[in-house]
Amino acid sequence: MKPIELSLKGIHSFKETQTIDFEELTEAGLFGIFGPTGAGKSTILDAITLALYGKVERAPVNKEGIINHASDEMYTAFIFTLGTGNHQTSYKAERSFKLQKNGSVKQTVSRLIKGVNSPVTLADKASDMDKSVIKLLGLELDDFTRAVVLPQGKFSEFLTLKGTERRKMLQRLFHLEKYGDRLNAKLKHKLDDTAHQLAVIKSEQAGLGDASKTMISDQKKEFENLKKEQIMKKEQFSKNSDELKKVERWDELSIKLKAVQSELYQFEQDAAEMAHEEARLNQAETALNGQERARTILDLHRDIEALQQDIQTQLKQKDVVHNEYIEAKKTKDSSDKQMQSEKPILEKQYDEADQAIRLIGDRKELTDKHTKLQNEEKELQFSIEQLNNTLRHHQHDLARYEKEVQKLKKDLETYTISEEDKRLVNQTEHIISQKKDLNNRIITLNKNLLDITEKQKETKKQTEQIEKEKELCQNKLHDQYGKLQFWYDAFSSYKRTLESAKLIITDNRNRRQKHHQESLLAEIRDRLNPDEPCPLCGSVHHEVNHLEAFENADEHIPSLDTFVGEVDRLTDEVNTHRIKLESTAENIPLSPENTSIESGDEVKVPDLYANDFEEGLRRLKQTMHASAQTIGKLYSDVHETLSQLRHHQDQLMTSKERLSGIEEQKKQLIMEHSRTDGEMKETEIEWRKHTASIPFKQAEAVVQSLKEKKELYHRILGRLENARPAIEKKNALINQSNEELYKLQVKKTAAETKLAFQLEQIETIDKSVQSLTDGEQPEDIKKRVSEKILYLKERFEKADQDVQQKEKDLQRISNELIRLESNLESKNSFLNEQEQSFHNWLDETSFKDAKDVLEHTVPKAELEKQKERLNERKEAYKNSQESYRTIKNEMDNLQLTEAAREEIRQESRRLEKEMEDLYDRVGRKKQEIESLVKRAERYDVLEKERMTVVSLLEDLEKLQIVFRGKQFVEFIAEEQLIQVSRLASERLYELTKGKFAIEIDSDGGFVIRDDANGGIRRPVSSLSGGETFITSLALALALSMTIQLKGQHPLEFFFLDEGFGTLDEHLLETVIGALERLQTSDLSVGIISHVKELRERIPRKLLVTSSVPGGAGSKVTIEHL
């Protein structure tokens, strides 16, 4: 932040507008503001804080009491820049205030403007501007006056602040709040998101179901079997397709044959019409050859008739035009004679009328001037009367003003306030305001404590409710776990039943095989002769074993091989359900003592051998299917209950964290309440110390009385100040009115003389006009004469034009007659020649005459098209005959009966349906396999994500412990304070020549290490006035070097107000030298003082001259060394 310009008006001793150019003032880096005590040096700092924050700290209530006693308004505008180089931006903060009738101060204008060339208003209301300035700079008023603009009484405040207050200030100055609540909120949000993400992953894993490698392998085997079956069907379908193509070819040829037969029939019906059409076209072709000669003869007859009619018309027209020519010659001679006799007389009358018009114009111009002059003379008379009235009014006001001033001077002596009363008002108001603020803080803290206690009760209630709902979910899960155990036992019973059935079926199959073998041996033994050796074993003795009657023993178990496959499939299905039940039960979070479930009713498994084995197996399948539907709904209920349980666990964790936070807030509020009570007691002690003579109950009444007296004093003084220029203004107005009255009277006399001379000129013009026009209007005379001359001229010109036109018409008609007669003779000769030749051609044809030829004529292009269409029809007839023979031969070669064709079609439809069914089954099986593979892959991906999220959740929970409360922010603030103290210690070491250094004690407060006395540590309260000043200066310099406004822009200036008077000559020299060495382009330091040595050493100075009582206010000028 770099200051550019400050304008102020009406603040303390600054009555008129004063502008300070900080760009010129800060060029050398170090500058001073000097002037006598009370001149207004500190007011410059007040103007800066007033422009930015709308407040002045040393004013009783931030604004009241700082308006100049001779003004009722004040104005301040501060221009500054933020950033450096190309990223530098200008801002202007301006405010205006007006003194109200009740003595309060109202803010009338508040504007924060960004930019100079293209200004943009960021805020135009007081509250908006206050927020915008704090947001822009990142500093509140207290921070600004402790680290940037250090007014009187604030310079050493940062040094003596308590540890907690100093840390809070550092948090605001260095924008550490982002490491506190904002970081905790961000961490909590991240923790909630991560916990939710983990719950979503677990829920999705549970919802993927069984996607094991065994399941995928079984499905792939089924898929391969279906593919083999599909290949066999394709081969059958391919064989059938060849036969089907022959059938389709037969159907196609049959349709074509019918179409060709229809075409041939139509051609035979149109044969006579085609012969007539051919004869007509031959006659049209003959007519086309004589078309041109016939048309020529007819055209010649029409042309000759038209020529004969035109010659008769021209002869009649020639006689009419000759008679009109004679009449026009007579009219021309008469018009010429009349114009020569009347034209000279008419031209004389026209000139006289023109002269009269010019005289009338001169008279009108003179009359207008006369009328205007009369109006001016009346206005002058009116102005003289008005000015006389105004002069009398000003003289009356002047007498009244002088009388009022005398009365005000007497009242002013009555309301004068002593300096002791002023001091009492300021001290009392400050303490009253401070106590009111503390009372308001206590009320707010009590309200906040009630609110936080109520919030704590509500949160506890919510936590208990969530725990109840969680317990209900756990009980529900316990019941569902029992159901899962029940159905697991059920499917285990199904499995045992199926395994037993499989053993029995296998045993029966073995027994049948053995029985079959023994039957064959018995048959061979029966065929052997007694005492003959066996051809197989060579023995002559064959023991006879009695065969068991097996044929009827197991008739209730037919098709053993079929049942083995069915039992194996049902066993696989049972194993799948058992695995899924076991997996679902393992996902239920129950403690070991809650996993023991009382056994309920046992599962009833159908007996496979009760009656019919096949019927028993069917009932077992139905029972298993019903059980699968039931456990399907049970899976959904378990997943829903698990989701609710996780939700309640998340809510419970969040609620407990919120309750912990509320308890921490309550603890902080109680500590703040205790601290505020302590400050209230300190305020009461300070009150008794400063105003022991006045009871506190009467303080406000005494202060209000003095304020009212002070207000009346300022009002009367202001009215006196305003009355002086008003009296001077009235005297000036009276003198001005007398001068204007004399000037108006001179103008009126000159106007009267000019009016008499204008009347004489008007009478002379009227006589001349009368003699020229004899009473008639000159415009009417000019119009009449002009019309007469124009009439005579137009009459003669028209007659002359008629004569010339008639001569031209006679010549044109004669020429036309000669041309027409020549054309007629030529046409008759050519017609005779053409008719002789055409009659010779007609004798060779069947046509009668030229008209008959033209009637039978067809255009050549159309004739060619018609002949082409006729030939196409003939060719189409031949093609149809050839197509009929070709199709008939191909159909005879196919040799397919109607029954054979229908059999091939039915076989094709059957194979096509079976192929479609196979394609559908293969597609569904493929989708099932892909779904299983995707689910397995998804499960693996989710498992990796789950491990990552679990690791992240553990790290976040550790961070939450680290960032709990405000420990981390206080740690950063403590580190920043140590950094500031190190920089300040370096400055202090330089200023004191190694005598003092600044350190931080265990409570976060400053202590002084006195190296001149063996390095002992002293409290800052033990420092003298001068030592306190240089220590505070070292801290201010260190803060200025480290502060970044809004965390982005460096602080490029700060002000020091007074304090140098406490330094001895040697220490003053050291401080001045240190400040001179600070002169850099990045930091400007402003010193406000009245110390003579400082004024002589500092190169660039702003001099403030005191105001004149009852006259001009304080003024500022820049002085160079």
CB 841 within 8 Å of CB 290: yes
Furthest C-alpha separation in the chain: 196
> 1056 near 155, Cβ under 8 Å?
yes
Regarding predicted confidence, which is higher, 174 or 667?
667
pLDDT-derived band at 93, boundaries 50, 70, 90: very high
pLDDT-wise least confident of 33-47, 260-274, 656-670, 1055-1069: 1055-1069
Q: What mean pLDDT is predicted for residues 881-899?
A: 80
pLDDT > 70: percent of the chain: 81
User: Which residues pair with residue 80 across a beta bridge?
Assistant: 3, 91
342 phi and psi angles, rounded to 5 deg: -100, -20
Residue 71: which residues within 8 A CB-CB, separation 6 or more? 9, 10, 15, 99, 718
User: What is the residue type of 68?
Assistant: N
Residue 1105 three-state SS: strand
- Whether 422 has a pLDDT exceeding 70, the answer reads no
Q: How far apart are CA 999 and CA 980, in angstroms?
A: 10
Enumerate the β-bridge partners of residue 1053.
Answer: 1084
Looking at residue 1078, its pLDDT comes to: 59
Select from 1082, 1093, 1059 the least CA-distant residue to 29.
1082
* Residues pairing with 9 in the sheet: 75
- For residues 175 and 1046, the answer to whether their CB atoms sit within 8 Å is yes
Q: Give the span between the Cα atoms of 1098 and 997, in whole angstroms.
A: 27
What value does the mean pLDDT take over residues 1102-1106? 89
537 vs 493, more confident: 493
DSSP 1111: S
Which residues lie closer than 8 Å to 695 by C-beta, 6 or more apart? none
**pLDDT band at residue 546 under the 50/70/90 scheme:** very low
Task: Give dist(CA 216, CA 211) in Å, integer.
Answer: 7
d(CA 484, CA 184): 43
What pLDDT sits at residue 550? 43
3-state secondary structure of 1: coil
SS3 percent helix, strand, coil of the chain, rounded to 5, is 75, 10, 20
Instruction: Give residues with Cβ within 8 angstroms of 178, minimum separation 6.
Output: none
**What pLDDT, on a 0 to 100 scale, did the predictor assign at position 549?**
42
Contacts (Cβ under 8 Å, ≥6 apart) of 762: 363, 366, 367, 370
Is pLDDT above 90 for 2? no
Angstrom distance (rounded) from CA 181 to CA 179:
7
The crossing angle, in degrees rounded to 10, of helices 181-207 and 898-962 is 150
**What gap in Å lies between CA 283 and CA 928, rounded to an integer?**
84
| Cα–Cα distance measured from residue 33 to residue 1117, given in angstroms and rounded to the nearest whole number | 10
Paired with 357 in beta bridges are: none
In order of their start, the domains of the chain are 2-148+1052-1120 (3.40.50.300), 271-415+776-837 (no CATH)
Query: Tokens 């002070």 appear where?
Result: 710
Query: pLDDT confidence of 178, banded at 50, 70, 90?
Result: low
Name which residue leads in pLDDT, 49 or 421. 49
pLDDT mean over 584-602: 57
Most confident of 336-340, 396-400, 586-590, 688-692: 396-400
Beta-carbon contacts of residue 788 (< 8 Å; ≥ 6 apart): 342, 346
Q: Which of 328, 336, 339, 335 is nearest to 802 (CA)?
A: 328
Listed in sequence order, the residues at least 6 apart from 997 whose beta carbon sits closer than 8 Å to its beta carbon are: 985, 988, 989, 1008, 1009, 1011
In the block, residue with structure tokens 């005959």: 881
CB-CB contact of 322 with 807 (8 Å): no
619: enclosing H helix or E strand: helix 613-690
Q: What is the pTM of this model?
A: 0.37
CB 184 within 8 A of CB 658: no
Q: Give the Cβ contact number of residue 732 at 10 Å.
A: 11
Strands (E), 234-373: none
Distance (Å, whole) CA 626 – CA 630 = 6
- Cα(896)–Cα(997) distance, integer angstroms: 123
Instruction: Report which listed range, 141-145, 207-211, 394-398, 968-972, is most confident.
Output: 394-398
Confidence of residue 556 (pLDDT cuts 50, 70, 90): very low
Top-confidence range, 49-63, 116-130, 163-177 = 116-130
Q: Which residues 6+ apart lie within 8 Å of 182 measured at CB?
A: none
Can you give the pLDDT at residue 525? 64
Structure tokens at 613: 């084995």
Whose structure tokens read 């007498």?
A: 399
Phi, psi of 1051, deg, nearest 5? -85, 120
Bridge partners of residue 91, in order along the sequence: 80, 114
Q: Tokens at residue 1101, please?
A: 């100075």
Residue 152, φ and ψ in degrees, nearest 5: -60, 135
Q: What phi and psi, each to the nearest 5 degrees, are found at residue 1110?
A: 75, 0
Name the pLDDT band for 646 (thresholds 50, 70, 90).
confident
Q: In what order do the strands lie in the sheet with 1100-1105?
A: 149-150, 1053-1057, 1084-1089, 30-34, 1100-1105, 1115-1120
Spatial separation of the C-alpha atoms in residues 772 and 349, rounded to whole Å = 9
The arrangement of strands across the sheet holding 105-114 comes to 18-21, 2-9, 73-82, 89-99, 105-114, 120-123
Classify the phi-psi angles of 283: left when phi > 0, otherwise alpha if psi is within -120 to 50, otherwise beta.
alpha
3-state secondary structure of 540: coil
Nearest to 102, CA basis, from 696, 857, 651, 707:
707
**Alpha-carbon distances, residue 1110 vs 69, 71, 1114 (angstroms):** 10, 12, 12
Is residue 18 predicted with pLDDT exceeding 90? yes
Round to whole Å and give the CA distance between 83 and 90: 9
Query: What is residue 554's predicted lDDT score, i.e. its pLDDT?
Result: 44
Kindly give the interhelix angle for 1025-1042 and 967-991, rounded to the nearest 10 degrees: 120
| Rounded average pLDDT over 607-628 | 74
Contact (CB, 8 A) for 581 and 488: yes
Strand partners, 21: 5
| Position 384, amino acid | I
| Cβ neighbour number for residue 743 with a 10 Å cutoff | 11
Separation between Cα atoms, residue 338 and residue 236, nearest integer Å = 128
Contact 775, 301 (CB under 8 A): no
- Answer positive or negative: Cα dihedral of 392, 395, 396, 397: positive
- Highest mean pLDDT out of 390-404, 581-595, 967-981: 390-404
pLDDT at position 423 = 65
**97 DSSP assignment:** E
Has residue 557 got a pLDDT over 50?
no
Residue 560 near residue 505 (C-beta atoms within 8 A): yes
Whether residue 346 contacts residue 783, with contact meaning beta carbons closer than 8 Å, is answered with: no
Place of tokens 């456990």: 631
Look up residue 343 and give its two tokens: 């034209």
For residues 7 and 21, is the Cβ–Cβ distance under 8 A? no
